[in-house]
Structure formats: structure tokens, C-alpha cells
């Protein structure tokens, strides 16, 4: 068996509510709890505002023959789990999809974006 202790990127596995999906690429996630915006006046920088931030996950999924793209659009309370090559597991619970999914037939792929109350890395 090959030693993978130095592997940082590459292989990743996606499951939604225990169902595996073909992860074609471009997985991204945000574990940020707050979003800040600098407040600038006409005289100087005044400080910043801070609001809660939704947990976010997104990726490109392969549209295999038995997959229903409509099922992704219907997701409103799912657990999304991704296992990364570096050993991390990224989990979003009670996630919902945002933005409509559009299949690109040249590569049989579509982008999916989930948001929720939080995303955690372990």
C-alpha cells in the first residue's frame, strides 16, 4: 500500500444523506461563522460591521445516467459530507441547495451550491 502521509490534494468523495455522487471537481467550502465589512466614512475608516455567515459548500457533480438533477434542486434538509485527500472530513448538516442547477452536456456536469447554519471540518 502506498504511503499517503504527504498527500494534500486530489482524491475526494462526496455523499449526501449517505448517497455517493460522482464529484467531478471544484469542491469548495466555507466554515466562516461571521462576515465582516469595513465601514468607511468621508473622513476615515470608522470600523466594521459584522453579521452571521451561512456555512457554504459547492462542487461540480457528474450527471450519471441514474442521477436525478431535480432531486438536487429539492434538497432542503440534507447532510453533505466530503472526504478530502489530506484526511479532512467536511460536514454540513441541515443544508439546502441555492441557485438552480444547470447541466453542461459536453462534460455531463452541473454545479451544486449548498448553504446552511454551519459547516465543520474534522
pLDDT digits (tens, 9 = 90+) for 18-51: 999 999 988 999 999 999 999 999 999 999 999 9
User: Which pLDDT does position 8 carry in this prediction?
Assistant: 79
Pairing of strands 78-84, 12-16: antiparallel
Domains of the chain: 12-121 (2.40.30)
| This prediction's pTM | 0.88
Over residues 112-122, mean pLDDT = 96
CB within 8 Å of 50: residues ≥ 6 apart:
34, 35, 36
Pairing of strands 23-30, 55-62: antiparallel
pLDDT digits (tens, 9 = 90+) for 44-79: 999 999 999 999 999 999 999 889 999 999 999 999
**Residue 2 scores a pLDDT above 90:** no
Cα distance between residue 45 and residue 39, in whole Å:
6
3-state secondary structure of 121: strand
Cell numbers that stand for 7 in this block: 498527500
Amino acid at each position: 500500500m502506498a504511503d499517503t502521509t504527504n498527500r494534500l490534494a486530489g482524491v475526494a468523495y462526496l455523499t449526501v444523506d449517505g448517497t455517493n455522487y460522482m464529484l467531478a471537481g471544484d469542491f469548495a467550502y466555507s466554515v466562516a461563522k461571521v462576515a465582516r465589512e469595513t465601514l468607511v466614512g468621508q473622513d476615515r475608516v470608522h470600523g466594521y460591521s459584522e453579521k452571521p455567515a451561512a456555512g457554504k459548500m459547492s462542487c461540480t457533480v457528474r450527471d450519471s445516467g441514474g442521477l436525478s438533477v431535480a432531486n438536487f434542486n429539492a434538497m432542503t434538509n440534507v447532510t453533505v459530507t466530503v472526504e478530502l485527500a489530506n484526511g479532512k472530513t467536511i460536514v454540513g448538516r441541515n443544508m439546502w441547495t441555492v441557485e438552480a442547477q444547470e447541466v453542461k452536456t459536453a462534460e455531463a456536469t452541473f454545479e451544486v451550491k449548498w448553504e446552511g447554519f454551519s459547516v465543520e471540518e474534522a
